[in-house]
Structure 1
């Protein structure tokens, strides 16, 4: 699920308005994003590239159009669409994005609320928020637009859901924190502690917390993060933008996850760890920078080598290591 613009905009309109030369097919644009942005409609996305390497990545992607410096025109292909510019493509991209944001072109959710919810009188629930059934929203919680809350969700005091992430860019000569046009989706049976901040997606995508994940106090979850089912995120953890966390993951106290990483199912991140590389499933990592110190079972027991076999020392489950991937042995 993602939010886009109310009306699709022809590239030719953007080209004319911002003095960029349209090369290739005139196509409709309904969303913005980088090459790493998550989207269900890449053919409707406008992106940007800064050098030949990323232009090749764009050419091999399913993204519809990008802004590129005119000096790279010879590396453009016939089946893609480009806006050629003599200025910095990134600056132009964010200038275009801000123009359509300031003119109110982006979608918002329709407000809706289910039954049997307990919402504190001091909580602030904005318009364009969807709340399911049997939720408990405590004192001084702020829920900002484009937030979807499932059933039986608990949100404890002073938490902020759906604020803008911290994306700083130079727009027309001034440094600005960019407005975010996506949302937050919190699935069923999630519990969120006190003074937690969960930022919405930047370009229309939803920061998503899946079923039965439990989040402790003082946790920061940045824009466009996806957290799987039944995860445990302990106090003080900080998760940077566009991180994907699998199912049944444990994040220890005060750990930090760098942006654009993936954390595999059943992995465990130790207290105070600084994760700067993606983590494979069932890995136990610790330190700054975090390094693998062992293997972890789905029951949270340690996987040890026993007579040339990998066995959980807690539940006795056997595993096989095939092409560096840990697979449960049936």
Structure 2
């Protein structure tokens, strides 16, 4: 799910007043994004690159169009569409995006609120917020536009959901925090502690917290991150932008997880860890930078080596390694 532009723009329209020209076929654009942005409309996405390495990644992607510097023109292929400029592609990209934002060219949600939900008098619920059944929203909670709250969700005091993330760019000679046009989706049976901050998606995507995940106090979850089902995130942890956390993941107190990483199912991040590389499923990591120190069963107990087999120390589930050092249950091997 994502929020797009109210009016799609042709690439030929976009370049009309720019120091740029169109190379390749004209296309309708309904959203902006980085190469890593999640979208269900890749062919309608405009992105940008600043090096040959990333242009090659764009050329093999299913993203529709890209802004490039003219020095990279020789690497373009006929199947793709490009906006070619002698200026900074990044600056041009964010200038176009800001103009669309300032023109109000972005979708918003229609507000709904189930009567069974309890909302404290001091909570602030903005327009364009959807709230499900039997939720409890406590004192001084702020829920900003384009937020979806599922059923039986608990949000404790002083939490802010749906604010802009922290994306700073130089535009028109000034450093600016880029406005975010996506949203936040909190699914059923999630519990969110006090003074938590969950930022909305940057380019129309939704920061998403899946069913039955429990979040402790003073946690920050940045823009466009996706947290899986039944995760536990302890106090003081910070998860940067566009991180994907799998199901049944445990993140300990005061952990930091770098942007764009994948944290695999059933993994465990130990207290105070700084994660700068993706973590495979069932791995236990710890330290700064975090390193693998063991393996974790789906029941949360340690996996140990016994009689040349990998077996859970509590539930006796057996595991085996497959390619890329991934761990699977033997029954599924």
The match for 2:227 is 227
Deviations 1:36-69 (A, max 9, x none): 1111001000000111111111111111001111
The match for 1:276 is 276
The match for 1:182 is 182
The match for 1:311 is 311
Q: What is the CA–CA distance in structure 2 between the aligned matches of 1:73 and 1:100, rounded to whole Å?
A: 26
The match for 2:330 is 329
SS in 2 for 1:98: helix
Gaps of 5+ in 1: none
Deviation at 1:17, TM superposition (A): 2.2
Q: What is the CA–CA distance in structure 2 between the aligned matches of 1:26 and 1:303, rounded to whole Å?
A: 55
Deviation at 1:316, TM superposition (A): 1.4
The match for 2:166 is 166
The match for 2:208 is 208
Q: What is the CA–CA distance in structure 1 between the aligned matches of 2:233 and 2:219, rounded to whole Å?
A: 8
SS in 2 for 1:17: coil
Deviations 1:128-157 (A, max 9, x none): 000000000000000000000000000000
The match for 1:94 is 94
Deviations 1:193-233 (A, max 9, x none): 00000000000000000000000000000000000000000
Q: What is the CA–CA distance in structure 2 between the aligned matches of 1:329 and 1:75, rounded to whole Å?
A: 46
Q: Which runs of 4+ in 1 moved over 4 A?
A: none
Q: What is the CA–CA distance in structure 2 between the aligned matches of 1:131 and 1:75, rounded to whole Å?
A: 48
Deviations 1:65-98 (A, max 9, x none): 0111112112111111111111100011001100
SS in 2 for 1:202: coil
Q: What is the CA–CA distance in structure 1 between the aligned matches of 2:298 and 2:253, rounded to whole Å?
A: 20
What is the RMSD computed on CA atoms of the aligned residues? Answer: 0.7
The match for 1:34 is 34
Q: Identify the range of structure 1 (316-325 vs 81-90) with the bigger mean alpha-carbon deviation.
A: 316-325
Question: How does 1:96-175 map onto structure 2 within 5 Å?
Answer: 96-175=96-175
Deviation at 1:165, TM superposition (A): 0.3
Q: Identify the range of structure 1 (197-206 vs 71-80) with the bigger mean alpha-carbon deviation.
A: 71-80
The alignment of Structure 1 onto Structure 2 pairs a total of residues equal to 330
Deviation at 1:13, TM superposition (A): 0.8
Is the 8 Å Cα contact of residues 222 and 242 (structure 2) preserved in structure 1? yes
Gaps of 5+ in 2: none
Deviation at 1:18, TM superposition (A): 2.0
Q: What is the CA–CA distance in structure 1 between the aligned matches of 2:152 and 2:253, rounded to whole Å?
A: 25
Q: What is the CA–CA distance in structure 2 between the aligned matches of 1:72 and 1:285, rounded to whole Å?
A: 40
